[in-house]
């Protein structure tokens, strides 16, 4: 019994435990301090706007501060991603200054759009498609590119190594992959984006743009269609891109989602003028087919049908369908507003007709007298 009552090593157990706890506390404090430094540096870069007139010195100071913090926390993938974004922003600011000197007639908004690295990817892809290796290499070594974007690429590679499940990292790598070789190498990075952001309309739209740059048109149309089916946020941009390449019949087959509401919106807003009469007819015909074949919620179906009747200028039937849709879904304030607006338009039209009829009758009476 005395063997376990007084063990010789027992006297060392408590000091060892205390020492271990002290070491853990010091390491924990160091890690917390490093993480706080990184978070503080990142927070200082959360500007409200990324604009061409932002002082370069402010961005450079932010880069220096975050770079210093990352040296003590080199495994922070989010910090590396933020640094890559800052280097890209520096490239855009310097590229904007150059374009401003070269193209003084263009507006600042136009020039700022041209500094988007997606345009740089498109230019690299075009040069690669015609096997213009000399110009592609010259593009990589342009000072405004070589001074900033390789830094962004390196931080993106670190970010992917430390945090490979962020779609943003793979998307930026896809855009900048021409720095390391053939722009078509972006396919592998884009596959990762599709895997990680398969239901994000913004990422799908961005992937479609890069596919379009690389002449993977069929794939780009699929990405646009999926993005559009999830959100109408890129509705007008997609129409502007594909309408230059496809007829309306092809757009309906390959790009426009099978949604009567989307087709009615296109017919009402983008293809409303007389020059678009044929395209509008195709949209209305396809929407009508879908309304008879798709399984839809009754309220949505009545609302879509009302929009179609409006395009046909059948106001009474449109009003009846709007009222039915609002009855089925009374909590939808937008539908209630559409119903009231149409009702007021119909009443105003009736009053105008009555006034015209009275005026015509008075004129006939005056002629008779």
Alpha-carbon gap, residue 54 to 59, rounded angstroms: 8
Helix 333-368 / helix 298-311 crossing angle, nearest 10 deg: 30
Which residues, including other chains, have CB under 8 Å from residue 198's CB and lie 6 or more apart?
204
pTM of the model: 0.83
Q: Are 234 and 242 in contact (CB under 8 A)?
A: no
Tens of pLDDT, residue by residue over 229-253, are 999 999 999 999 999 999 999 999 9
Instruction: Give the gyration radius of the chain's Cα atoms.
Output: 31
- 3-state DSSP percent of the chain in helix, strand and coil, to 5: 80, 0, 20
Return the structure tokens found at 72: 């003590």
Question: In this predicted model, what pLDDT tens digit does every residue of 35-91 receive, in sequence order?
Answer: 888 888 888 888 766 788 889 999 999 999 999 999 988 899 999 999 999 999 999
CA 250 to chain centre: 24
CB contact at 8 A, 241 and 211: no
Taking only the tens place, the pLDDT of each residue in 248-259 is 999 999 999 999
pLDDT tens digits for range 149-173: 999 999 999 999 999 999 999 999 9
Q: DSSP per residue over 24-64, as a string?
A: HHHHHHHHHHHHHHHHHHHHTT--S---TTS-HHHHHHHHH
Cα 196 from chain centre = 15
60 is written with which tokens?
A: 């450079």
Q: How far apart are CA 106 and CA 169, in angstroms?
A: 32
Contact call for residues 210 and 124 (beta carbons, < 8 A): no
């Amino acid at each position: 019994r005395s063997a376990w009552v007084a063990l010789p090593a027992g006297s060392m157990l408590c000091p060892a435990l205390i020492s271990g706890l002290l070491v853990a506390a010091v390491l924990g404090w160091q890690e917390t301090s490093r993480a706080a430094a990184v978070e503080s540096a990142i927070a200082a870069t959360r500007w409200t706007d990324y604009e061409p007139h932002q002082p370069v010195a402010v961005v450079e100071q932010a880069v220096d501060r975050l770079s210093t913090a990352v040296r003590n926390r080199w495994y922070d993938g989010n910090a590396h991603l933020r640094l890559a974004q800052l280097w890209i922003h520096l490239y855009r600011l310097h590229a904007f200054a150059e374009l401003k000197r070269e193209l003084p007639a263009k507006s600042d908004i136009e020039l700022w759009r041209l500094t988007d690295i997606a345009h740089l990817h498109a230019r690299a892809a075009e040069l690669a498609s015609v096997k213009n290796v000399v110009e592609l290499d010259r593009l990589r070594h342009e000072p405004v590119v070589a001074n900033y974007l390789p830094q962004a690429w390196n931080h993106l590679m670190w970010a992917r190594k430390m945090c490979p499940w962020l779609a943003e990292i793979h998307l930026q790598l896809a855009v900048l992959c021409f720095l390391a070789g053939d722009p078509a190498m972006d396919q592998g990075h884009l596959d990762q984006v599709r895997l990680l952001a398969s239901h994000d309309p913004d990422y799908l739209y961005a992937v479609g743009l890069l596919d379009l740059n690389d002449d993977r048109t069929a794939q780009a149309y699929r990405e646009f269609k999926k993005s559009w089916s999830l959100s109408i946020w890129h509705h007008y941009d997609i129409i502007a891109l594909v309408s230059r390449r496809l007829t309306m019949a092809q757009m309906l087959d390959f790009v426009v989602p099978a949604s009567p509401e989307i087709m009615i919106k296109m017919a009402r807003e983008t293809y409303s003028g007389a020059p678009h009469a044929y395209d509008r007819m195709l949209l209305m015909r396809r929407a009508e087919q879908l309304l008879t074949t798709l399984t839809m919620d009754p309220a949505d179906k009545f609302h879509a049908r009302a929009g179609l009747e409006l395009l046909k200028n059948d106001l009474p039937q449109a009003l009846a369908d709007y009222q039915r849709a609002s009855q089925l879904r009374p909590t939808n304030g937008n539908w209630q507003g559409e119903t009231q607006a149409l009702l007021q338009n119909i009443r105003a039209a009736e009053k105008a007709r009555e006034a015209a009829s009275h005026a015509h009758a008075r004129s006939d009476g005056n002629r008779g007298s």
